[in-house]
Structure 1
Amino acid sequence: MNRPARLTIATFTASAALLLTACGSGGSDDSSSDKINGADTGAKSSPSASASVASDVKRPEIALPSTFTMTFEGWTSSDPKLQAVLDDGKEGLRATHAAIIDADPNAGPVTFYNEGAALESARSWVKGYVKTDDSLVGKVRVFDSQVRVNSQGLGVLFYCVDEGKAFTKNRKTNKLAGTPRGTSPYLQYRTTLEKTSQGVWKTRTVQTERGACGQ
């Protein structure tokens, strides 16, 4: 999926002209490194996990149109703390995509789930679509989530996104643009999240690498 080349910020490394998405790594509280991918420490999220501990904070509702769907596969953990990181990381990703479709860089959910450099990056990414008058259609598959909480108490969440069936759509011309031929439709996301006093895991940094994920 094509995307503007304007979004290149220190904490948000992504291939210019391609849609935002990512792939995996995971771990547990006793690991000291933020790096997960390829490491043998830490456990991957389990598909037979229990639900995360509910927070008293009212989270914003994020609505995506029927013309654009996001499927999260195996997005569960048996550890309630890790499930909470997964849940807020998921909604943060959905929030940014919804903001692009709504052409609203200052959308409330984007601010709710992001802070600092990650918030600046998300807003810049959305503004790029607003400037070119593009929206999103099709579907993305989010998979291979791996998550842990490191020794500093930060959530470390890696995951993959398959954007091979997602497209940008110009609002005026209805022209569609997908992932360029010869370019991998898979993008790996490497994020860190920090838990607020209200219990929300906000994304604070994001890095991406094109082609780092398999099928």
Structure 2
Amino acid sequence: MNRRTLPVAVTITACIALLLTGCSSGGNDDDESDKIKGSGGGGEDASAGSTARPDDAARPEIKLPESFRVDFAGWTNSDPELKTILDDGKDRLRAGYAAIIAGDPQDDALRFYSSGAALKSAPSWVKTYKGLTLKGSVRVFDPRVHVSNEGFGVLFYCVDEAEGYTRNLKTGKVAGTPKGDDPEVQYRTRLEKNSKGVWQTSTVQTSRGECGP
């Protein structure tokens, strides 16, 4: 996708050190991703609606058009809490896409799954796509999830944008990932559990070329 519009790269001023605070007792930066428990499992979960979670929250339904597909690979875990973090992190990403397509900076679902810095920055991020929509498909894979010693969640995952692009609603012009750029983006997110049991994304950091082979 086009680097200027960055449909899947929500850039928030958070650093990886903040995301990983309390996740491990030591080690250098190269070791951090290995300390985050992999989600395991396999299979593909298409961009279907939200599923039930083991808490009291009434989660909003998120709908994406057939013209833009989000496929999730391996987003499962046998641990109920880690599975909920994966599901809520998944729906936060889907809500972001839906907000862009709807052109709604105050999208209810995006706000529902956001807190802190991510909540404050979300409207400005959506506004950067004014006059644009999303087409094609993206693949979201290699989720790694962990609960820190302090109780917040850490979720890493990769998004392959190779088949996704933006389209200008007035001109019809399309733009994808610039030639020579890595189409895979790694997301590094921190999530906080609210009083209703929802894991809201509070910070997001993204980086191209970090997803590995």
TM-score (norm 2): 0.83
2:199 corresponds in structure 1 to 201
Q: Distance between the aligned counterparts of 2:12 and 2:71, measured in 1?
A: 27
| Contact 2:11–2:204 (8 Å) recurs in 1 | no
RMSD value over aligned CA atoms? Answer: 2.7
Q: Distance between the aligned counterparts of 2:105 and 2:25, measured in 1?
A: 35
| Contact 2:42–2:75 (8 Å) recurs in 1 | no
* Residues 160-192 of structure 1: per-residue CA shift (max 9 Å, x gap): 000010000001111110000000001000000
Q: Distance between the aligned counterparts of 2:93 and 2:15, measured in 1?
A: 13
* Residues 46-96 of structure 1: per-residue CA shift (max 9 Å, x gap): 2179x9852221100000000000000000111111001000000000000
**Deviation (angstroms), 1:120:** 2.2
| Contact 1:12–1:118 (8 Å) recurs in 2 | no
2:37 corresponds in structure 1 to 43
Q: Distance between the aligned counterparts of 1:206 and 1:153, measured in 2?
A: 17
What amino acid does structure 2 have at the position aligned with 1:204? S
1:176 corresponds in structure 2 to 174
Structure 2 alignment gaps of length 5 or more: 44-50
| Contact 1:85–1:201 (8 Å) recurs in 2 | yes
Structure 1 alignment gaps of length 5 or more: 14-26
Q: Percent identity?
A: 52
Moved over 6 A (4+): none
Q: Distance between the aligned counterparts of 2:15 and 2:106, measured in 1?
A: 18
Q: How many residues align?
A: 196
| Contact 2:39–2:74 (8 Å) recurs in 1 | yes
**Deviation (angstroms), 1:11:** 2.8
Q: Distance between the aligned counterparts of 1:196 and 1:59, measured in 2?
A: 13
Q: What SS does structure 1 have at the residue aligned with 2:76?
A: coil
What amino acid does structure 1 have at the position aligned with 2:37? A
1:190 corresponds in structure 2 to 188
| Contact 1:52–1:83 (8 Å) recurs in 2 | no
**Deviation (angstroms), 1:32:** 4.9
Residues 36, 123 of structure 1: alpha-carbon distance in 2 compared, 3 angstrom cutoff: farther
Q: Distance between the aligned counterparts of 1:178 and 1:72, measured in 2?
A: 20
1:163 corresponds in structure 2 to 161
Residues 37, 93 of structure 1: alpha-carbon distance in 2 compared, 3 angstrom cutoff: farther
| Contact 1:52–1:79 (8 Å) recurs in 2 | no
Q: Distance between the aligned counterparts of 2:185 and 2:144, measured in 1?
A: 14
2:5 corresponds in structure 1 to 4
What amino acid does structure 2 have at the position aligned with 1:137? K
Residues 137, 185 of structure 1: alpha-carbon distance in 2 compared, 3 angstrom cutoff: same
